[in-house]
A = this chain, B = another copy of it.
Amino acid sequence: MLRTSLQAGLAGAFLALSSATALADPLVAAAGLAPAAIADEGMWLFNNPPTEQLRERYGFDITDEWLEHVRKSAVRVSTGGSGSIVSASGLVMTNHHVASDILERLSTAENDLLANGFHAETMDAELPCPDVHLDVLWSIEDVTERVDGPAAGLDAAAAGAARRKAMTEIEDAAKKETGLHAEVVTLYQGGRYHLYLYKRFDDIRMVFAPEKGIAFFGGDNDNFEYPRYCLDVTFLRIYEDGKPYVPEHFLSWSEAGAADGELTFVTGHPGSTQRLNTVAHLEYLRDVAVPGALHRLMRQEVLLNIFSGTSEEHRRVAEGDLFGIQNTRKVYLGRTAGLLDPAVFEAKRDEEDRLREEVEKNAEWEEKWGSAWDEVAAAQRAARSMSLRYNVAGGPGLGLGAQLGGYAVTIARLADELPKASTDRLREYGDASLPRLYQGLYSPAPIYPDFEMMRLESALSLMAETLGAEDPMVVAALAGKSPRARAAECILGTTLMDIEARKALVEGGASAVEAANDPLIGLAQALDPFSRELRKRYEDEVQSVERAAYAKIAAARFAVFGEGVYPDATFTLRLSYGAVKGYQDGDREIPPFTEFAGLYEKAEERAGESWYTLPESWSSREDSVVPTTKFNLVSTHDIIGGNSGSPMVNRKGEVVGLIFDGNIQSLIGNYAYSDEVARSVSVDSRGIMGALEQVYDAKRIVAELKGQAAGK
């Protein structure tokens, strides 16, 4: 599944990494630094679209109106995926696995919405989703000069601080002026800064979700595989002022779907790629960051499995986390395999040598940019010296392994940060970020003490296992107790389970926090100085150095190759184009489409295995569904984790599919695009409509998608 690392709960700079499979690919050598993108490559900016490529390859003239229409129909989902508005009444389509955290939170011990699905037969039955918001990209402005200006002439660390301050100022001013959510996006690793303004919606309700058994048919086993048979869809609805939102733009539904070979587009929010990384940077990822992340993922997977085995309630509580961890672990195994493939490195080395040669030929360029690659290498050495410690301390956010731990850190830091000017605070405590921060902090989502205790113990134990029990940070964390005893003390003794208690502490500020003497906040406070020091070192010695050096490399690339290149993914809206197309897997010819009939065949073939057990809604209708209904499809679009839930549209901007995965060969996409065997995987629009009509009898949604009526 194309979840971003955000979704799996893995925030932090060291975890926004890279991906590839072990399959050597002849195209790798040609990709990446080539002056013009090959084939259907590219995650393009909406203000720098691949106009020429579309005209040349497909004879399609992309217009500003077309771009605005699909842009304003696209949404970014706060749980870490993409989606689209698909009706005149604010109906939103995304993936089931993007919405799975929401479904888990809406579940109770009596009704597990992940297992059973959900179908609001009337509008009144639509369920409010706590803590979820959707963003629609309203405008883009280049603010590179405003960000870089204050940094001119400063050393790397001071320049980094100056840029971070300028970004916060720009965001705060824009939010004040427009009321829109503002984010300055760093593009081309610091080559450009764009101000993105979003219309933010936070009254979101659950409309329809199928059972996990069909949404995730084949489970972790078939994840990143093809052919597939998954109904990985969920419908939400945007409300405004308590009523269904009436959008200016939404995507119409294509009942005909796309044909084999047809040009289509994907609009979504790819999370992160590392295609422009230097070789030294990739070596750091290969030898330190990715193995470290893989270790932590596998550890979490085992501990979640143990916890899940202890009771049915524990299984349900941990299911979403386990699902996310297994998905990310599969991605990281792919990345490890790719990074350990010498062919990938050879290609990257060749590309880097070519660019550096061009720079060296020009004395002015060499003077301005020639040192950049060594500077990136120095930043990687710095990262090697601190990454273990930074990661077990939870990265920039000081993770305490659990929901309550996150609240404790936020409350402790708010008490310290709010008295400062917005631009002097830690970036995520700036005025523009506060509404979302409060939304998370005052979430009514259920909290499970057993689960919290297990996760906090795990985080504390990992810290000790990694740094040694006598490391000062570990000593501060454990306070003379074992991880288990310390976790029990903190979780059983905290008042943060209660939303009102959290509000009172935030509103009361530092003195209220001090008076409360909450053990979990005490733990956060004990670790805070270590975390802040590590973060500062990481920002100064790694991020700022990288930022400055990559800005030089980006400038070199613009000079050598021109402006017609796309930046690495940044979890912001991008446009990909490509064709519906099968592929060759060894001896096997894989056709582009699957059908309902194939689902039933597979279920029979793997009978008895839980991942292949159909929900009753599907098994009982085996004889009545139309077996030739197109179900899933593959295409050549350039996508990555975060694109989950992206709509696939045709030239007319109509929905023909819903991205939900890539095949295993596409995991190389973090480093380089290939269209030989790497494929995006979507649910066909005909499969979605077929399921709603033939299996779920969801007349209200069907009518709404067909534009016959606004949902009632």
Contact = CB atoms under 8 A, between A and B. Distances in A.
B484 A337 contact: yes
B466 A22 contact: no
A86 interface: no
Contact of A299 (B298, B337, B464, B470): B298
A14 to B, nearest CB: 15
Contact of A337 (B24, B339, B466, B482): B482
Contact of A465 (B220, B291, B309, B485): B291
A482 B299 CA distance: 24
Given A22-B485, A483-B22, A466 B298 contact: no
B22 A484 contact: yes
Interface in A306-346: 306, 309-310, 312, 329, 336-337, 339-343
A137 interface: no
Contact of A302 (B22, B329, B464, B485): B329
A464 B338 CA distance: 12
A676 interface: no
Given A22-B483, A286-B469, A291-B466, A478 B340 contact: yes
Nearest to A483: B340
A586 interface: no
Contacts of A219: 309
Interface in A271-292: 283, 286-288, 290-291
Nearest to A301: B302
Copies of this chain present in the complex amount to 2
Interface in A458-510: 461, 464-466, 468-470, 478, 480-485
Given A221-B309, A309-B221, A340-B483, A465 B294 contact: yes
Contacts of A469: 283, 286-287, 339-340
A218 to B, nearest CB: 10
A242 B389 CA distance: 62
A295 interface: yes
A303 to B, nearest CB: 8
B295 A340 contact: no
A287 B22 contact: no
Contacts of A312: 609
Given A22-B485, A310-B221, A485-B22, A340 B461 contact: yes
A342 B302 contact: no
Interface in A517-563: none
Contact of A309 (B341, B478, B611): B611
B337 A468 contact: no
A481 B342 contact: yes
A415 B287 CA distance: 35
A633 to B, nearest CB: 24
Interface string A83-115: 000000000000000000000000000000000
Contacts of A337: 461, 482-484
Contacts of A329: 302
Contact of A461 (B301, B336, B480, B484): B336
A470 B484 CA distance: 39
A461 B611 CA distance: 28
A482 B286 CA distance: 12
Q: Pick the most buried of A221, A302, A305, A466: most chain B CB atoms within 10 A of its CB.
A: A302
Interface string A203-225: 00000000000000001110000
A471 B702 CA distance: 59
B342 A480 contact: yes
Nearest to A486: B340
A647 to B, nearest CB: 31
A336 B22 contact: no
Contacts of A22: 482-485
Contacts of A468: 283, 286-288
Contacts of A299: 295, 298
A617 to B, nearest CB: 21
A298 B287 contact: no
A640 to B, nearest CB: 21
A278 to B, nearest CB: 16
A480 B24 CA distance: 12
A312 B470 CA distance: 46
A315 B220 CA distance: 15
Contacts of A609: 312
Contacts of A298: 298-299, 301-302
Nearest to A609: B312
A336 B484 contact: no
A287 B465 CA distance: 6
A464 B470 CA distance: 29
A304 to B, nearest CB: 11
Contacts of A306: 220
B291 A336 contact: no
Contacts of A485: 22, 24, 341
Given A22-B482, A221-B310, A309-B221, A465 B336 contact: yes
B302 A220 contact: no
Given A298-B298, A302-B298, A342 B611 contact: no
Q: Pick the most buried of A291, A310, A609: most chain B CB atoms within 10 A of its CB.
A: A291
Nearest to A384: B468
A485 B340 CA distance: 10
5 contacts: A288-B468, A295-B295, A309-B611, A341-B482, A343-B482
Given A291-B465, A295-B299, A340-B464, 20 more contacts: A22-B483, A24-B482, A221-B309, A283-B468, A283-B469, A286-B468, A287-B465, A287-B469, A287-B470, A294-B465, A298-B298, A298-B302, A309-B611, A312-B609, A336-B461, A339-B469, A340-B478, A341-B485, A342-B481, A343-B482
Q: Sort A-B residue pairs by CB-CB distance and give the 3 closest, nearest first.
A: A291-B465, A287-B468, A341-B482
Interface of A: 22, 24, 219-221, 283, 286-288, 290-291, 294-295, 298-299, 301-302, 305-306, 309-310, 312, 329, 336-337, 339-343, 461, 464-466, 468-470, 478, 480-485, 609, 611
